[in-house]
Structure formats: structure tokens, C-alpha cells
Amino acid sequence: MEWKDWLPIYKEILMDFQFSREEDEMSALLLSRLLEEKGAISSQTLKNAIHGKQVTVAASAFEPHQAYDVGDGVLIATGSSMELFLAMDKVPDIIVTDLDGDIEIQLELDRRGSIVVIHAHGDNAAAIEEWVPQFTGRVIGTTQSKPLHNVHNFGGFTDGDRAALMADHFHASEIRLLGFDFENPVPKPGSDPEVKKRKLAWARKLINPIIEK
């Protein structure tokens, strides 16, 4: 998805959740600065990894037995699916994160070779400042606000639908979803389950056009 196509959707999300666009943009600028300091891969690396390939996107409702469904294509992991893959000694090709959850698992997958897509939004600036310098492998930044030269916007709102829209943006030949439950959010300490349900409703809205192609 291109910025011009994402912008009206983004404005709707800002209104729905009363998020601050200014805070989103400040977080993206922070991520951009940190990536400048440590070096970041270009979007061409993601294109090379995804273009023309079957992509499986795994989300937090992923179960261990579903590992047999991953296949031989490109694996993008989000949320707690990363922990399950690591426990099975399977390294995803790409992980997508806004730096919540178990960061040590994300750092370990970074060390083992996963491409790490780190997302900036209005309320994770502190996590960006703390954790981004600790990633030592192939890292790329994303934002839900206006893209910068090294912080990209492929569309998407939650980690799962951002991963799916990223695969679509780079023209995956097929996109398969594992562990997506749009009705029952996976509980997270300190999070409001009702807000999470609204976020999942947006995720479904954004993903449906992709899977209906």
C-alpha cells in the first residue's frame, strides 16, 4: 500500500482511537535517528525476501501444531508466535514488532538471522530508545504516519495486518495467515481488552481485501 492510499485510512484510525498524529511522527523521527546511527537495511532487502514468493504470516493465536502448516515459503512472525518458533528452533525469515512482548526473544531471533521490522507509533518511543540500539542484525523501520527516508509505511495498524500488508506491498505470490483470531484478543498485561477488540476489527478490515484477491 502506498502512502497516498493509506493516509485516509490512517486519519480514520486516528479519529477512532483519538491517537496523536504528532506523537506518531515524533516516534518515527526518533526511530529514524537511531537507525541512522546504527545502520538499517533498505526496503530492497524486504522486496528480495518477499517478491513472488509464498508468504505465511503467523500471529499470536498460533498453536505449535500449526508449525506443520508453515511450508517452505517465507515466514513472517508477529506477537507470541515468535516464542513458539524459537522453542521449535525455527527462525522466521522476518519478524514484525512494535517492541512489546518479550524483547529478549526478538533480540535472539535478530541474532539468529531474522530480518527485524520495527514499528514506531505514538506510545512506544521509550521502548524504541531503549531497545533499537540493541538489535545488531538486519533492521528496518516502519511507521503508521508519513514515511521518512529510512522509516517506511507499507500500510497496516497492528503487527499482524502490517505484516500481511507488507507482504502484499512487495507482491508475494500468495499470503497465508496462521494464528489470526479477530474475535478473541490474546491477553496482555496492562492492555484494555475492549480496545484490543477494536484494533482487531481494524486488522480484519485491512486484511480482508488482501485475502479476497
What average pLDDT does range 174-192 have in this prediction? 79
1 or 33: which carries more pLDDT confidence?
33
Look at residue 213 and tell me whether its pLDDT is greater than 70: no
Give the tens place of pLDDT for each residue, 145-170: 999 999 999 999 999 999 999 999 99
Q: Which domain holds residue 42?
A: 3-180+189-211
Alpha-carbon gap, residue 103 to 134, rounded angstroms:
10
Structural domain count of the chain: 1
pLDDT single digits (tens) 122-131? 999 999 999 9
pTM of the prediction? 0.94
Q: What is the mean pLDDT of residues 22-43?
A: 95
pLDDT of residue 190: 63
pLDDT for residue 69 is more than 80? no
What integer best gives the mean pLDDT of the chain? 92
Higher pLDDT, 85 or 192: 85
> What mean pLDDT do residues 32-51 have?
94
Cβ density class 65-85: b for 16+ within 10 Å, e for less:
eebeebeebbbbbbbbbbbbb
Each residue's pLDDT tens digit, 72-128 = 899 999 999 999 999 989 999 999 999 998 999 999 999 999 999 999 999 999 999
Share of the chain above pLDDT 90, in %: 77
Cβ proximity of 21 and 14 under 8 Å: yes
Which strand (E) or helix (H) includes residue 160? helix 159-169
Do 10 and 144 meet the contact criterion of CB atoms below 8 Å apart?
yes
Query: Which pLDDT score, from 0 to 100, does residue 66 have?
Result: 66
User: Over 80: is that where the pLDDT of 68 sits?
Assistant: no
Answer with the residue of higher pLDDT: 211 or 23.
Answer: 23
7-26 residue pLDDT tens: 999 999 999 999 999 999 99
Q: How far is CA 136 from the centre of its chain?
A: 18
